[in-house]
Chain A
Amino acid sequence: MNKKVTYSDIVNALSSKTGFSKQKSEAFVKALLNQVKDELRESGKASITNFGSFKVKEVAERQGKNPQTGDPIVIPAHKRVSFSPYKSLRENVNAKYGHLESELINEEEEGKQTDESTTDLTQDTQPNETTEPEYPEEEQADDVFAISTDPDAKEEASGDDEKSDDQIENEIEDDTPEQTEGDTNTGETEPEDDVESDEAEEDVEPEHAVTDSDASDGSERNYTNVLSIMAVLMLTVIAITTVWFLVDNGSGEKKQAVNGSQNNIQTGAVAQGSEVGQKVSLRTYESIKSEADELEKRIKALTQQAERLRAQQSEQSIRPAETEENPVSEKVSADEPSNQVSDTNEERSVNKRYEVQQGEWYWVISEKLYGKPRFWPLLFMENHSVNEDPDSLLKLTNISVPAMEGSADNPTSNDYKDLAAATKMVAEAYKKAGKSEKADEYEKFARMWEKMGA
């Protein structure tokens, strides 16, 4: 608890220190206090140099409560004396905690939270984009099972689906260059395929135990099953490639094309069973197998392309204002949404000029240009020397605006470093202008920015 010293103790200490009698000391203290009181009464202000100043303050009428009974009381308007200690006294009293400074710990945590929330949003959208391209693969798997479980039924249905077969064959004719490539490759890889084909059969068999049980009688049936799987894969790939070409040509109708592609795949899936028999008769097993291998690779490549296309489409749907003429740049923006910000900053990197209107100050200009008034030291550093008082009104009518690496809402660590340097300069300028309190304040700010930049 705080100790207390009586008035007489003070007077005694004063007399012993100065060598004056107690009467003289007390008379002095009384005279001094009377001076203060008289001054307070006359001007409403008084001060004891190096100790503190007193001020009379008006207190407005307010509603209060009787602390004992709880009855409401109207406390009338009155005056009261307030005391504010001088800086030296304030610092002496607070010497124990003087080294402490307010910290930004909470802010950083909150900042991280907001960052996380924004990243969450981007993460939310990304999984959707990644999951969508998986659909064709799933369909393929379904098709494989559908065909492998009852190949007979599919072969029976082949007669019904002749029209769709023709359609797909037309599509295949469109893609003939690719197929011929596959054929030429097969010729080179045939001997290897002979060895691998046996292994491939064994690999496939356990996956489709149902088909094995159905087709356990003859090894030829096994062949047909494997062939059917390969053919299905091939057809889906062809369907995707054609769709992709369509999408590439008619960028305006991408969505429709993709939807159409899904429909094509579905119809193709129905029709696949019918083609199995034809394919077997047309091509040897090895050539088809090698083609399928190649096409599997192509599936992967195409699914990746499909992913990109989806990303583009989502981008376009979000920002319909942007033209679709250069998909490459859109791809980049789809991969890195933050590039939007950096683009605007690149524009800023060439220092803009700003026409100062009458009565505007850094604080206001900074709010206009950066969105946040607290970045004004950047403006000061860019346009003024240390010898100018930051509070003096702008003499320049046209100032250059330094660039920021990040945005005002999300500054980079370099921005913080710049800001710290600028704030330090402002503090120095204040010091030279004789405003030590403001200088101290901005030195603190500079340290704070440095911390945030670290």
Chain B
Amino acid sequence: MTKSEVLKSISKELDLTIAETEQLYDSFVNGMNTLLSNNVGFTLPGVGSFSTELRDAHKSYNPHYEQMMLIPPKNVVHFSQSSTLKDEINRDSDE
């Protein structure tokens, strides 16, 4: 599902124009991006929680060079699914 499709369905549901929905959408996504960029975690109810975590520098084998390399530290986004989402998905599979 593309962004335009999502915007269309939401605008119908909330009685908003597509432009208004897009404004909401963009600022919502930007807000989440800036939060994570500043290492601030948050939870979206029913979906899961987002946070950032630091991966330390470590040594690893690089198959391209066939040699060990020093991998630098990296900050990554970590997502943890909510229990309700997990239950919903697994209930579906059971049925």
Contacts and interface: CB of A to CB of B under 8 A. Distances in A.
Contacts of A104: 65, 67, 69-70
B48 A92 contact: no
B43 A28 contact: no
A93 B77 contact: yes
Interface in B47-65: 47-48, 50-53, 59-60, 62, 64-65
B75 A96 contact: yes
A106 B6 contact: no
A358 B82 CA distance: 50
B24 A83 contact: no
Nearest to A76: B90
A445 B65 CA distance: 9
Contacts of B39: 2-3, 93
Interface residues of B, number: 65
B41 A5 contact: yes
Interface string B12-49: 01101000110111111111110111011111111110
Contact of A78 (B66, B68, B72, B90): B90
A81 interface: yes
Interface of A (DSSP majority class): helix
B81 A374 contact: no
A24 interface: yes
Interface residues of A, number: 67
Interface stretch (A32-40, A117-125, A201-209): A32-40
Interface string A1-37: 0111111011001100110100011011101111111
28 contacts: A2-B39, A2-B52, A5-B40, A6-B42, A10-B32, A10-B42, A14-B27, A18-B23, A28-B10, A28-B28, A33-B44, A34-B46, A37-B85, A41-B88, A49-B3, A50-B26, A51-B33, A79-B89, A83-B50, A88-B33, A89-B37, A92-B36, A93-B52, A93-B76, A93-B77, A104-B67, A104-B69, A110-B67
Interface of B: 1-3, 6, 9-10, 13-14, 16, 20-21, 23-33, 35-37, 39-48, 50-53, 59-60, 62, 64-77, 79, 81, 85-86, 88-90, 92-93
Given A32-B10, A49-B29, A51-B32, 4 more contacts: A5-B35, A28-B24, A32-B6, A41-B92
